Amino acid sequence: MSGQSEAVPGARGPEKGLSQEAGEQQVLSGGYAPGAQVLIREDLWLVRKCTLTQRDGWMVEVTGVSPFVRGMDAVFYDRLDVVQRLDPRETELVRDDSPNHLRSRLFLEAVMRKTSLPQTEQGLALADNFLMDPQVHQLRPAELALSMKNAQPRILIADVVGLGKTLEIGVLLAELIRRGRGERILVVTPQHVLEQFQRELWTRFGIPLVRLDSTGIQRVQRDIPAGRNPFAYFKRVIISVDTLKSDVYAHHLEHTEWDAVVIDESHNLVNRGTKNNDLARVLARKTDALVLASATPHNGDASSFAELVRMLDEAAIANPSKYEVDDLRHLYIRRTKTSPEVRESLKETQWADRGPSRPIHVPASAKELAIFKELATRWIPADPDEPSASRHQLVPYRLLKSFLSSHKALLETVKTRIGNIDNPPPEKSGNGKRRMRPEDPAVRKAAQAAERAALVDLQRLAEQIEDGDSAKLQALVEELRAMGVGPGSETRAVVFSESVPTLRWLAETVPAALGFAHTTSPDQKKPWLGFGGAVLVMHREATTDQEQQDIVEKFGLYDDPVRILFTSDVASEGVNLHQQCHHLVHYDLPWSLIRIEQRNGRIDRYGQKHKPEFRALVLTSDIPWRTDGTTGEPRTLDDRLVGEKLLRREEQAHRIEGSAEAVTGLYRAKEEENRLTQDLIAGRTVEESIKQSQQGAAAFLTGILGQVGAVHEHPEVARAEVPKLFASTADYFEEALRQVCRPNPEDMLSLRRDKDGTIAFEPPADLLYRLKALPKSYLIEQQILPSKDEPARMRVTFSKQLAVKRLNAARETTESQWPNVSYITDVHPVLDWLTDKVLVEIGRHKAPVLAAAVTTPTYLVQGIYSNALGKPTVVDWMAVFGLPDNPDVEPLTPELLERYGISPDMPGRATPRDLPGLSALVPAVIDAAERHLAQREAVYRKQIEATLKPHRDRVAEWRQEALFASARPNEAELDRTAERRLKLVKSLQTAGEPMLRLLAVLEPTATTATAAEGGTQQ
């Protein structure tokens, strides 16, 4: 037995060599309901989760209740250990002498909170309890995933940039936790957003995740034995895709099952044969719930998108090259800012309408014009049939694009190209093998010599350009000044460039031009650090993954000295730069609508308080020339050729289509750029290229990812009805704390309540154990961990207003964006810890007797049926009365609880009037409840049959379509897939006997007893 989630082998229990019949009987015995108490090895444990395994029967994850194991987590298998369910007919009735029966009311509330919602409950239970604005569109993904339109809660969240996909994921994960389907969670993200994602899930939802970055891995190595599976020790993990796909974790993943896996930026998974794809396929097999998130979820190829969808449902697409959007609506959702529901939601929240994308025309200097002329006359002639200095069609446009970034970028490109000519790399064919060109070596050598000479001439011209000759550099400085960026100002700006040489050059020259004081940099490779922290640079060549996380963190802190972030497109996906910034400058413009949109989305996103302002520096060269050097009609070969047109089109797409991808039908920036370049080489305009792209093979994908799930039949998201005995979670927390921390929490926990709503206390050891998932730096910084000088101190609150205030304050410090007060949600570890404490207050296999507003003894019973996966299918709360002559059962609704008077105003009675008589009726009560529950299960069986029939039909239809979709289908593989899907569907049906539990007995008060004797009926 272990204090961590590790398997516990046992010496007792059934032998492993069970016959098939015995094994089936073992399965039919049913699982162990979460919240139930079980005896294992003479100790009492609280069931947290139950899962059926193929080899060892039910895997029961538990928390210790008995003094010897209290607070410890363990895993048992009921074929290896005797897991004893307590017979409800033998429940001992006990008195409750607490004031107003507080102990009993807390116990009942705790049982309700710990009981997983059944799979038939598709309403959201926790949607109003998170630190986020009430946005209906952000609840829709959870609604769809839980709707049972798919056999598993699996979904692709494909909302465009900025709508809050992280929040949508958090809502769904919390709802899965509430249903007992989120105990083991794995989140996979790009490295540079690890902390951002982890912080959002903790701050807004109270879900702690262990971060396995370089620091987290070192911590794991200290905490667990070498070679052991880290995922057996840490149940909720966030890790980067690059770290996870390493060989270190491959073996562990094959032997780890998850309740829920989240993969952010999932478009990076679609290419078969890559490690990313292999990783995703393994995870898809090893999890129940799967959440994929991407604003650009495919690369324009129908088969690639099919690959992503098949991870969610193997039998969703029969023909990967042809399918319909209506066949996939149960698996994904995509909205834009123009979606009616999104637009309506945003009216009441913080997301300012974006400002215009303003192009800043910058006439080229004389020395820059010389390069334009050189490019136009020798490299990119006006007539495509005229010879170019390079035989390689893409080279001239690479030179042009790099020069449109800066002369520094052009010099780097020229240098690289000369190097490739002098030392040519081996050419490869499409299959990766070396390929020899069928070309005369002398001809090839002469062409290379001519190209090299032209490159040398271009290099000479570029080397003549100094900082003062760069028109865009001067324009950038002026534009930043106009924005207010400079010493003594709080204004910040992010400047994007595709070129690393350009970024380095700008970071070294712009700050001084703006007046920032310069000192010696502590890092000679990063001279921009010599501006007192006013400048940050982020790109893959200069910054490690951890440094990228730190840069994003610093840029979001209000009183950090940073004022300018120079970044490559490494920051264009998933990064939040909007918290202290609403100015963005495109120093150079990508030849991709998608990339422009992604860049803009860094500051134009949910939570932006100020109008986002976009600027683009457009280098112009209005000089007429011909290839022979004579003057003629002007020819545009500058940023107006492509960049400015795409800037305008992206702005139009934002207003009309809602996303850039809908304009071209292409969903990868690199593919879009390549397509456009090839069209320019062929003599087409940007407009012609876009039009042809819309009409090409990718056009049908525009419909696939237009707006899916944007319009709903019902305006509100359904909410789950769960019985509650306390007006709010805060009320429950306060009363529970006083009950379990006797004589008072002020002394036991050194608890203090501040006027602003902060509750500060010293967390005990068993609570600290539950918080170990959080970054140690955060725990130390917030004094949640004790030090040699100070005791541990945790600060929590139920006030959303205070939590938001502290969250904003965290962004106004130089320390961290982690707030110093934690908002308590219904899945927060502090509340979970307290609820476990409450559950053991009544005692093992006991039920309290309460004096209530009933006219005859009334027994409160919980009944649960589970499916073959151990998940509840029927959860029934019953009031049983009329015993022994006329037993009757009534659903225990909130209205009935109120009628019974189970509230702080209960009179309470220290000693029951007739404890023996009440105890004698318990077996008959359980029998009556069991009969009623069986009737409910029969109704459920019909309901689930109707729900599952479309799933079965879909599998049969898929198999038939797949047979005809391929000339030579692999029928054996199709059969295996169909069998897996049908087995999954079958597993959702009820399996085994119900679990019944007597929770409490309501005994008439003197007043109600007298009324009953007078003839009043219940």
pLDDT in tens, 617-635: 999 997 555 545 555 556 7
What residue has token string 């999104």? 342
Residue 834, pLDDT above cutoff 90: yes
Average pLDDT score over residue span 987-1003: 88
pLDDT digits (tens, 9 = 90+) for 377-387: 899 887 777 88
Lowest mean pLDDT among 139-143, 779-783, 1004-1008: 1004-1008
Residue 408, pLDDT above cutoff 90: yes
C-alpha–C-alpha distance, residues 642 and 616, integer Å: 13
Average pLDDT score over residue span 483-508: 93
Nearest Cα to Cα of residue 895 among 725, 775, 1009: 725
Residue 55, pLDDT above cutoff 50: yes
pLDDT score for 187: 96
Lowest mean pLDDT among 22-26, 40-44, 267-271, 399-403: 22-26
Contact present, 563 and 556 (Cβ < 8 Å): no
The residues, any chain, with a CB within 8 Å of residue 228's CB and separated by 6 or more, are none
- Distance, CA of 959 to chain centre: 32
3-state secondary structure of 609: coil
Average pLDDT score over residue span 175-191: 92
Q: Which residue has the higher pLDDT, 246 or 925?
A: 925
pLDDT score for 31: 64
Average pLDDT score over residue span 487-496: 93
Average pLDDT score over residue span 693-705: 57
Evaluate the omega torsion of the peptide bond into residue 763 and state whether it is cis, within 30 degrees of 0. Answer: no
Average pLDDT score over residue span 317-328: 83
pLDDT digits (tens, 9 = 90+) for 946-969: 888 999 999 999 988 888 887 777
Burial category of 799 from C-beta neighbours within 10 Å (exposed 0-12, middle 13-18, buried 19 and up): middle
The residues, any chain, with a CB within 8 Å of residue 582's CB and separated by 6 or more, are 352, 603, 608, 609, 610, 611, 612, 613
Share the mean pLDDT of the chain.
Answer: 84
pLDDT digits (tens, 9 = 90+) for 784-829: 988 888 889 999 999 999 999 998 888 777 677 889 999 999 999 9
pLDDT digits (tens, 9 = 90+) for 198-231: 999 999 999 999 888 766 666 666 677 766 777 8
C-alpha–C-alpha distance, residues 108 and 102, integer Å: 10
pLDDT score for 3: 36
pLDDT digits (tens, 9 = 90+) for 334-389: 888 778 888 777 765 667 788 888 999 999 999 999 999 999 989 988 777 788 88
3-state secondary structure of 334: strand
C-alpha–C-alpha distance, residues 916 and 292, integer Å: 57
Radius of gyration of the chain from Cα atoms?
A: 33
Residue 428, pLDDT above cutoff 70: no
Residue 2, pLDDT above cutoff 70: no
194-205 and 165-178 helices, crossing angle to 10°: 50
For 983, the token pair is 């087995």
Strands 332-333 and 258-264 come out as unpaired
- Would you state the torsion angle of the CA atoms of residues 889, 890, 893, 896, taken in this order, to the nearest 10 degrees? -110
Contact present, 724 and 764 (Cβ < 8 Å): no
The residues, any chain, with a CB within 8 Å of residue 232's CB and separated by 6 or more, are 4, 5, 6, 7, 256
pLDDT score for 108: 95
Residue 662, pLDDT above cutoff 70: no
Secondary structure (H, E, C), 907-918:
CCCCCCCCHHHH
- Would you state the torsion angle of the CA atoms of residues 771, 775, 778, 780, taken in this order, to the nearest 10 degrees? 80
Average pLDDT score over residue span 603-608: 84
Average pLDDT score over residue span 483-496: 93
* CB burial readout 325-358, b (16+ within 10 A) else e: eebbebbbbbbbbbbebbeebbeeeebeebbebe
- Would you state the torsion angle of the CA atoms of residues 814, 817, 822, 826, taken in this order, to the nearest 10 degrees? 180
pTM of the shown model: 0.78
3-state secondary structure of 257: coil
Contact present, 830 and 824 (Cβ < 8 Å): yes
Contact present, 153 and 289 (Cβ < 8 Å): yes
pLDDT score for 29: 43
DSSP 936-979: HHHHHHHHHHHHHHHHHHHHHHHHHHHHHHSSS--HHHHHHHHH
Q: Which amino acid is at 867?
A: N
At residue 290 the predicted structure's pLDDT band, cuts being 50, 70 and 90, is very high
User: Which of 132-136, 511-515, 722-726 reaches the highest mean pLDDT?
Assistant: 511-515
Nearest Cα to Cα of residue 982 among 948, 944, 935: 948
Average pLDDT score over residue span 871-899: 91
Residue 20, pLDDT above cutoff 70: no
pLDDT score for 479: 95
Q: Which residues pair with 956 in a beta bridge?
A: none
Contact present, 989 and 873 (Cβ < 8 Å): yes
Average pLDDT score over residue span 838-842: 88
pLDDT digits (tens, 9 = 90+) for 856-871: 999 999 998 888 777 8
- Would you state the torsion angle of the CA atoms of residues 827, 830, 835, 837, taken in this order, to the nearest 10 degrees? 150
pLDDT score for 208: 93
At residue 70 the predicted structure's pLDDT band, cuts being 50, 70 and 90, is low
Nearest Cα to Cα of residue 332 among 138, 121, 173, 154: 154
What residue has token string 């964006």? 817
pLDDT score for 335: 86
Burial category of 88 from C-beta neighbours within 10 Å (exposed 0-12, middle 13-18, buried 19 and up): buried
Residue 609, pLDDT above cutoff 60: yes
Lowest mean pLDDT among 19-23, 541-545, 630-634, 966-970: 19-23
Average pLDDT score over residue span 965-988: 87
Average pLDDT score over residue span 745-758: 93
Nearest Cα to Cα of residue 550 among 561, 536, 564, 563: 536
Evaluate the omega torsion of the peptide bond into residue 969 and state whether it is cis, within 30 degrees of 0. Answer: no
Average pLDDT score over residue span 542-546: 67
Q: Which amino acid is at 363?
A: P
Residue 541, pLDDT above cutoff 50: yes
